[in-house]
């Protein structure tokens, strides 16, 4: 059963090759779990971190960036991004999907978690993480 999570923080250090976002467990209504819930970091690139930060702050750009373009394509084709699901963790790499509703049903579109989160953050799209991924990622971050 997937676990609902939210982006709890983003750490951008422009002099580093990698940036960090942290996901934290929330209840089914999206409120933070008592005691904080489980959490774990995901390492992402600077462009993705900047896209997430820009969308969080509601910064409007003159021309669409990649995530804006994809959101427009989904909408133009009659789809709606309803959730993001991080489905797996293998050799330190997270795997995700965009859960898109169309008139013909649901589509699961393969995506990097950073891109999926950047796309979904502006629309307040819920993030789910497979339970086994939360367990494995939480253990890995606790041991570091």
**Domain extents in the chain:** 3-142
Domain 3-142, classified CATH 3.10.690.10, yes or no: yes
pLDDT of residue 35: 62
Distance CA 106, CA 32 (A): 28
Nearest C-alpha neighbor of 52 from the set 117, 5, 134: 117
pLDDT of residue 142: 64
pLDDT of residue 36: 66
pLDDT of residue 114: 92
Nearest C-alpha neighbor of 39 from the set 52, 15, 21: 21
- Please tell me the pTM assigned to this model: 0.88
Burial tier of 2 (Cβ tally within 10 Å: 0-12, 13-18, 19+): middle
Q: Would you give per-residue pLDDT tens digits along the chain (144 residues)?
A: 899 999 999 999 888 888 999 999 987 765 665 666 899 999 998 888 988 999 888 888 888 888 888 999 999 999 999 999 999 999 999 999 999 999 999 999 999 999 999 999 878 899 999 999 999 998 776 666
DSSP state of 112: -
Residue 64: both structure tokens together:
């669409």
| Dihedral sign, Cα of residue 68, residue 69, residue 71, residue 76 | positive
Strand partners, 81: 100
Residue 39: both structure tokens together:
């959490």
């Amino acid at each position: 059963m997937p676990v609902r999570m939210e982006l709890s923080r983003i750490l951008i250090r422009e002099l580093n090759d990698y940036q960090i976002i942290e996901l934290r467990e929330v209840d089914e209504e999206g409120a933070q779990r008592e005691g904080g819930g489980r959490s774990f970091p995901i390492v992402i690139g600077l462009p993705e971190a900047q896209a997430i930060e820009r969308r969080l702050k509601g910064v409007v750009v003159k021309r669409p960036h990649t995530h804006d373009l994809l959101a427009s394509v989904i909408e133009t084709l009659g789809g709606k991004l309803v959730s993001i699901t991080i489905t797996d963790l293998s050799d330190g790499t997270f795997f995700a999907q965009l859960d898109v509703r169309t008139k013909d049903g649901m589509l699961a579109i393969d995506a990097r978690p950073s891109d999926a989160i950047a796309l979904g953050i502006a629309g307040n799209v819920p993030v789910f993480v497979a339970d086994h991924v939360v367990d494995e990622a939480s253990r890995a971050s606790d041991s570091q």
